[in-house]
Chains A and B, each alone.
Chain A
Amino acid sequence: MRALDRKLFRELLGMKGQALAIAAVVAGGTATYVLSSSTLDTLQGSQARIYREFRFASVFANCKRAPRQLLERIAGIDGVQAVEARVAVPGNLYLPEFPDPVTAQVLSLPDSGQPLLNRLHLRSGRLPEYGRDQEVVLSDGFASAHKVQPGVSFTATVYGRRRKLTVVGIASSPEFIYQLQPGSIIPDFKSYAILWMNREPLEAAFNMKEAFNQISLEVGRGGSPEDVILRLDRLLAPYGGQGAHTRRDQISHRYLSEEFRQLKQMATVFPVIFLAVAAFLLNVVITRLMATQRSQIAILKAFGYTTPAIVIHFLKLAAVIVLIGVGMGIAAGTWMGRGMVTLYMEVYRFPYLDFVLRPGVVAGAAVIALAAAALGAVQAVIQYASEAPAQAMQPASPGLYKPTLLERLGLGRGLTQPTRMIWRNLERRPWKALLSIAGVAASASILVMGGFWGDAVDFMVLFQFQRAQRDDLTVTFIEPISEKALYSLVSLPGVTYIEPMRTVPVQLRNAHRTYRTTLQGLDNGGDLRRLLNTQMAVTELPPEGLVITDYLAGMLAVKPGDRLTVETLEGRKAVVEVPVASLVKEFVGVSAYMERGALNRLLREGNSISGAYMAAERERSAEIHKRLRDMPVIAATSARARILQSFYETMARQMLIFAFFNTILAATIAIGVIYNTARIAFSERSRELASLRVLGYTRGEISYILLGELAILVLAAIPLGLWMGNRLATFMANSMQSDLFRVPSVVTPWSYSFATLIILIAAVLSGASVRRKLDRMDLVEVLKTRE
């Protein structure tokens, strides 16, 4: 077989452009597979190790205020292996260089320093020493965003009280791998921090002496988390227990799980598209190659080569192309995977991430790609290899053509001969034409989907931050206070407008379906916090009854007119039935709303408020923050502009990287399909085209025949691809719906245009390269040989 192998090698060189284009498509599929699989393995592996090493708890609960004596009974619950209780307090930090208030979650550390569960991973410094009340450990995301080192001091308000704190350590925690400010979906390390400090000073500040409001448990191997939750809830109920939950509802863990799910999806959807395209391309290229070698194959067989030997010979060619692609794909996928892991490290605060590329992933990639190649090539190879030599040595008779449907209908009268050639050629092999169209369309759809991410983010920002939440500042009070507090806020210099709100944690129930969320009381006619319906129009709150997010209505299986049981989880415990009045659209979280007066009546609390939305002059924000900091009733302040900016910064970086790779991958498919189609058309038809040149046709005129056919394929593929992209975007958006956030399935004209542009560029490049071949065609050479 040595001579045959040399033949194979030369043929490969002869079609290196086409082989490379196919290898690139295979590489695209392999790279996305390796990228998403290795990233997934890395994240999951590190997560598991970190959870184990830092003892991530398995059951979590919040309550209002429970005495520490209760801990003994909790530890006694069957199956509970370890218990850790703490005090969690909202606060604000003020950094000298940073104008906006930083929202902080302040957590207590046990007297021993390191907690038993959800242990801290110290990146630098140390834990606070016993008795040093001003010492704190700072979350690493925030520390690196502000370049804070141990030793730095700053002012903070914890539960309305100002104090000076000193950073002694920087740490991460398995609880806060995804560090999310409540109400947000993207971590904002600049304006959200987690602080750990000693138990005693925090308990004192918060009025929680020898008490706790957060607890986490480790359930042993034999224990059932469900049973533990049941018992725990019962124990905590008298102390304002808000219902325990497992890891599944732990925010950081949930976001990680969502991310894993998306990676898994990416590990299948993209490789399938790429490898299907690669299989198709291999099929057409090998078919063409074998058609040109029909008589050579016959001669080999006449010399005594067996059919299987010839089948293997050509399959080897396909295998070599695919393996080159797999090699490139694994290299690219590993490289991108490492980059991706670094990117993840910016968003997910893993103490460490060890990049893993399992041999199984590499082998899997190769096997899947080879299977796709076999799928594409086998049929063509067997068909030609098993042809009887005598028959194969006959010259191929001219291809069978017939008038097109159009012409049979009598509509072909005015067509020029070149135009007729284009149409008849397309109609002669409709499957090939359709598959080429499908391939280019697949590429367009991937491009549309790339644009869709940006569009969705823009739309969410527009909807959520420019239409629904329009405040500059949100303040929340330590506890509900009288409406009169508004006067002192509105009189602040620079504050132009203010809207009160009342929030209360509730459990909503419809039969066996329950959901915990906050019920917000708002005033009608507000300008800062507005509720929008699905048409983005402002919805008024009814005098009685609930307005809930449409997604929540789906989860609870209620529609307007149905009744929900509302159980308040704070203050006066009330259980009341309230009708659902209407639904609103929201993309982040799920909430319930009521007219503020109605809510207060329900709570029997008079006109109290728990916070306010404020509009303020941007130039005076520093002054406003300074004044707010000095108001002891204010628990926390957050700045909307800041949230928006960081949302965009984080998103934009990731989007840009994503869009870049996405465009390259999609363009690979487009060029692969268009270039190969053009090359094969050129090789199949160079004889015809040369004849026409001899007859006096110009280069431009014969290019029309070849490139016209390409143009038709591309122009048919674009609308199909845009439509497919729209469907794919909707599918992706739907698959990401959860109560955490919903992704709107919007695609802007800009994304469609971008996809179209890239496809057209790919088409023009492929067309130009074939045009060059046409211009260089040696007429005499082409015509003197027998086909």
Chain B
Amino acid sequence: MTIPQESIFKARSLTKVYDMGEVQVQALRGVDFDLYAGEMLVLLGPSGSGKSTLLNILGGLDRATAGTVAYRDLDLSHANEKQLTQYRRRHVGFVFQFYNLIPSLTAKENVAAVTEIAENPYSPEEALKLVGLEDRMNHFPSQLSGGQQQRVAIARAIAKRPAVLLCDEPTGALDSETGVLVLEAIDTVNRTLGTATAVITHNADISRMADRVVHMSNGHVQSVDVNAERRSPRELHW
């Protein structure tokens, strides 16, 4: 299959140093990275290699120490707090390992929390249908399983029709069967909506559902593989 070459994220010589007083931790040491429109990308790498740091910078949750990073025309490296909030509000969907749903809101209301502040969003019903949870809309998080909660989190992330979906170990807290359901939801979103998606995982198997696989180690991008064929999550095993 052909890979669309329009790059929506462009990071060059990205460095991140955590200054902890006496010690300085180099989390990123000059990373060049692109994410193309509509692609499914998996980030692989050992623990501490800088995956989350990179994703958080892309998502406007954190700022790089040096280097440049841009989302389309928006220079994220020089954006202020207000611009970053607006950027997240309009363009980015996040999914974390811990679902971080709001316990006092039902599934539908959790999604509505986003659709209320977005321009031209899906309806909460549509978003939940996309992840296969249309029959659980009025359940509170405490009434949902972990996998279901994670799918609500995905619905919540994509309800605003973001240009990119960033997932940090979305299946990290789930067993493999449930994990497959979650990955299917992500896969469906990527295929049907064309949302550029970056998924962090420790699981090499999962990388087979990607268009491209970025290997990170010790703050560097070590290599980038392009998969000849993109597998459906159903076919994965771990």
Contacts and interface: CB of A to CB of B under 8 A. Distances in A.
B103 A399 contact: yes
B224 interface: no
Contacts of B90: 696
**B92, B102, B117, B157 interface centre (most CB from chain A within 10 Å):** B102
B116 A420 contact: no
B123 to A, nearest CB: 14
A424 B88 contact: no
B199 interface: no
B96 interface: yes
Interface stretch (B1-9, B66-74, B107-115, B202-210): B107-115
Nearest to B88: A696
B103 A695 contact: no
Contacts of A185: none
Interface string A398-417: 11111000000000000011
Given A421-B104, A784-B96, A692 B142 contact: no
Contact of A424 (B97, B98, B104): B104
Nearest to B90: A696
A420 B100 contact: no
B86 A691 contact: no
Contacts, number: 95
Contact of A698 (B85, B92, B118, B160): B85
Interface residues of B, number: 37
Contact of A701 (B82, B117, B118, B160): B117
A400 B56 contact: no
A428 B88 CA distance: 31
B140 interface: yes
Contacts of A420: 104-105, 109
A402 B94 contact: no
A786 interface: yes
B62 interface: yes
Interface string B42-78: 0000000000100010010110000000000000000
A3 interface: no
B222 to A, nearest CB: 23
A418 B113 CA distance: 7
A696 B109 contact: no
Most buried by B among A421, A690, A696, A779: A696
A401 B112 contact: no
A712 interface: no
Given A696-B85, A696-B117, A691 B100 contact: yes
Contacts of B102: 417, 421, 688, 691-692
Interface in A663-707: 687-688, 690-699, 701
A45 to B, nearest CB: 59
A1 interface: no
Interface in A763-787: 779-780, 783-787
Contacts of B59: 694
Interface in B139-168: 140-142, 149, 156-157, 160
B137 interface: no
B144 to A, nearest CB: 9
Contact of A398 (B56, B61, B101): B101
Nearest to B98: A786
A416 B112 CA distance: 9
Nearest to A689: B102
B231 interface: no
Nearest to A424: B104
Contacts of A425: 104
B12 interface: no
A695 B52 contact: no
A194 to B, nearest CB: 72
A405 B164 CA distance: 39
A258 B69 CA distance: 78
B215 interface: no
A397 interface: yes
A398 B102 CA distance: 8
A783 B117 contact: no
A430 to B, nearest CB: 14
B10 interface: no
A783 B116 contact: no
Given A417-B116, A687-B100, A691-B100, A401 B94 contact: no
A695 B114 CA distance: 7
B103 A398 contact: yes
A420 B118 CA distance: 18
Interface residues of A, number: 34
Q: Is the interface of A mostly helix, strand, loop or mixed?
A: helix
A399 B156 contact: no
Nearest to B91: A696
Nearest to B100: A691
A397 B146 CA distance: 10
Nearest to B102: A688
A420 B138 CA distance: 14
A694 B88 contact: yes
Given A401-B142, A784-B96, A786-B98, A695 B113 contact: yes
A398 B141 contact: yes
Nearest to A695: B114
Contacts of B29: none
A696 B86 contact: yes
Contacts of B116: 416-417
B100 A783 contact: yes
Contacts of A691: 100-102
B104 A399 contact: yes
B142 A398 contact: yes
B89 interface: yes
A694 B61 contact: yes
A687 B141 CA distance: 14
Contacts of B149: 398
A696 B121 CA distance: 14
A481 B112 CA distance: 93
Contact of A401 (B61, B113, B140): B140
B68 to A, nearest CB: 21
Nearest to A779: B61
A424 B113 CA distance: 15
B74 to A, nearest CB: 14
A783 B98 contact: yes
B96 A783 contact: yes
A1 to B, nearest CB: 31
Given A398-B103, A420-B105, A784-B52, A693 B85 contact: yes
A401 B142 CA distance: 8
A78 B96 CA distance: 96
B109 A417 contact: yes
B140 A697 contact: no
Most B C-beta atoms less than 10 A away, residue of A424, A694, A779, A784: A694
Given A688-B102, A696-B88, A779-B61, A400 B112 contact: no
A396 to B, nearest CB: 10
A288 to B, nearest CB: 16
Nearest to A400: B142
Contact of A417 (B88, B100, B113, B142): B113
Nearest to B169: A784
Interface string A291-317: 000000000000000000000000000
A503 B86 CA distance: 86
Contacts of A690: 100
A420 B117 CA distance: 15
Contacts of A697: 85, 89, 117
A418 B117 CA distance: 11
Q: B103, B104, B117, B160 — which one has the most chain A CB atoms within 10 A of its CB?
A: B104
Best-surrounded residue of B100, B101, B103 (most CB of chain A within 10 A): B103
Contact of A399 (B62, B82, B98, B142): B142
Given A400-B140, A417-B112, A428-B104, 12 more contacts: A398-B103, A402-B140, A416-B116, A417-B102, A421-B104, A421-B105, A688-B103, A696-B90, A696-B160, A697-B85, A698-B82, A698-B85
10 contacts: A417-B109, A420-B109, A424-B104, A688-B100, A695-B89, A695-B113, A696-B117, A697-B117, A699-B85, A780-B56
List 4 tightest A-B contacts by C-beta distance, closest first.
Answer: A696-B89, A398-B103, A417-B113, A398-B141
